[in-house]
Amino acid sequence: MVNVKPTDLIANKWKSRASGATQDYVNGVTSPKADWKEQTSAAAPAYNSGVQAAISRGAFAKGVNAAGTAAWQSGALSKGKDRYAGGITASADKYTAKIAKVVGVLQGIKLGARGARGDASNYDRTRQIGSALHDAKVKGAFQ
């Protein structure tokens, strides 16, 4: 038998040390050992392989089923609720820049004439919008 400390001692030590490591986190982000973009791009084949392996074994569904709705709600409410507004504020400039690209695509669409209520031609207008947005996304316009 392997001699292991009790679970509560391990968990309490993790909680104590990790919650006091905010500056270590900041230091790691601002002064990484290697460039994040380069390392992450180079890892694309490993990522793809890992995702395909996870798909093959049904890992996503298994993880969702193991956690359940209650675990998702608990995490979202205990962590996400207090972080939500700050995250919105922090990302406002990025959102503005990205939505401007979407608006540009929408403004460039020449919609067909609107028909009477229930007319099938009205659905074509929706298709035009969907197709234009999808094409722009596929071509990388929203990067």
The chain-wide mean pLDDT, for the chain, equals 95
- pLDDT higher than threshold 90 for residue 90: yes
35 belongs to a structural domain: no
The predicted model scores a pTM of 0.69
Residue range 96-121, pLDDT digits in tens: 999 999 999 999 999 989 999 999 99
115 belongs to a structural domain: yes
Split into its structural domains, the chain has a count of: 1
Give ∠ CA 112-113-118 in degrees, rounded to 5. Answer: 110
State the DSSP string of 15-45. Answer: HHHHHT-HHHHHHHHHS-SS-HHHHHHHTHH
107 belongs to a structural domain: yes
Q: Domain range holding 99?
A: 92-143
User: Confidence band (pLDDT; 50, 70, 90) for 1?
Assistant: confident
137 belongs to a structural domain: yes
55 belongs to a structural domain: no
Q: What pLDDT was estimated at residue 81?
A: 92
60 belongs to a structural domain: no
15 belongs to a structural domain: no
118 belongs to a structural domain: yes
